Amino acid sequence: MSPATGAPGATPKYTKKDFESDQDVRWCPGCGDYAILSAVQKTMPDLGIPREDIVFISGIGCSSRFPYYMNTYGFHTIHGRAPAIATGLKLARPELKVFVVTGDGDGLSIGGNHLLHVLRRNVDVTILLFNNRIYGLTKGQYSPTSELGKVTKSTPLGSADRPVSPCSFALAAGATFVARTLDRNIAHMEEMLKRAAAHKGAAFVEILQNCNVYNDMAWGMLYDRESKVLHELRLQHGKPLVWGPAEDRRGLVLEGVKPKVVKVADVPESQLWVHNETDPGTAAVLAHLWAPDYPIPLGVFTNRSGEATYEDICIQQEQKAISERGPGDVAKLLMSGDTWKIG
């Protein structure tokens, strides 16, 4: 990495270019990954973190080329195991800022179990899951997020699997920050990236991303200008959940715990459901909403700060053990307890 200039002892003043590596970017022309890469590189200088303290860890898939294109430290690991590698790194070097880059196949199929545990443990990592509803690197098989009935090379008669909702999965696993954004909405994507990176704890961002070769326009209703107005629900803390064109605004009200779509003009403003990022129940219900019956929420579902991270707990336990018992003896530990000799 080339050095950046700055005052001695202070974080250098970076630009987007400082985070661009010398590697040729090798994604298919038109892939949504280009927009995500650019947004991440543009966001990095605003974090105020030296490049040598930033690490990108990935698994296997189109998204997992990411570490090659970031002028930071990085690790291209094995299929689905990026969360496990990231956990080990945070335990060994908790001062580092660690990003995990994964896809709907890598993160939710072979890597689903590892993703579950990094989230439930509240490891202080930022997870970016690119969701294009298809396996792109291996040429177009259906993925865990592909819709029911999806016809692909591996499901010629249509997929019999019900899709996973990545945000619902993350919330159920206990992630303390969960958000969703879109590859073609650069400003919103940068906002979500900054908020996730600033969170202390397990932060999960689902990025709806286009694969123009094997699943083009999977998110077409959020790309088309007219359709987008009818289907996109922007989540804003403390604001009513409303969307749609100005002349026909729609909103959500709660009937018990079930959301109902209403015309904003037909109900008092006090009846409209107001978003609360700190309420797990609100987040869980919103994460299940999807077209055509409901709008598609984009934004922060939950943001719970102040919860202990996994590495902080482990460090406290280690310090306590040393203060009470002194330095450990691995050989003594291995030979203690239920051991026996043969012969």
Q: What is the DSSP letter of 267?
A: S
Cα-based distances in Å from 322 to 165, 317, 328: 43, 9, 7
What does the pLDDT read at residue 102? Answer: 98
What does the pLDDT read at residue 284? Answer: 96
d(CA 275, CA 167): 16
Q: What is the pLDDT of residues 99-136, one digit of tens each?
A: 999 999 999 999 999 999 999 999 999 999 999 999 99
Q: What is the DSSP letter of 268?
A: -
Return the percentage of the chain with pLDDT > 70, whole number.
96
Q: Cβ neighbours of residue 333 under 8 Å, at least 6 residues apart?
A: none
Residues in the chain predicted with pLDDT less than 70, given as ranges, are: 1-10, 339-340, 343
Q: How far out from the chain centre does Cα 66 lie? A: 14
Greatest alpha-carbon pair distance for the chain in Å reads 87
What are the boundaries of each domain within the chain?
16-218, 234-297
Q: What is the DSSP letter of 111?
A: T
Cα-based distances in Å from 337 to 86, 117, 332, 333: 32, 29, 10, 8
Q: State which CATH number among 3.40.50.970, 3.40.50.1000, 2.40.50.100, 3.40.50.300 fits the domain covering 16-218.
A: 3.40.50.970
What does the pLDDT read at residue 339? Answer: 66
What does the pLDDT read at residue 7? Answer: 47
This prediction's pTM: 0.93
Task: Please choose, from the candidates 44, 2, 52, the residue with its C-alpha nearest in 3D space to the C-alpha of residue 22.
Answer: 2
> Are 229 and 255 contacting, i.e. CB atoms less than 8 angstroms apart?
no
How, if at all, do strands 177-182 and 203-208 pair? parallel
What does the pLDDT read at residue 336? Answer: 81
What does the pLDDT read at residue 342? Answer: 76
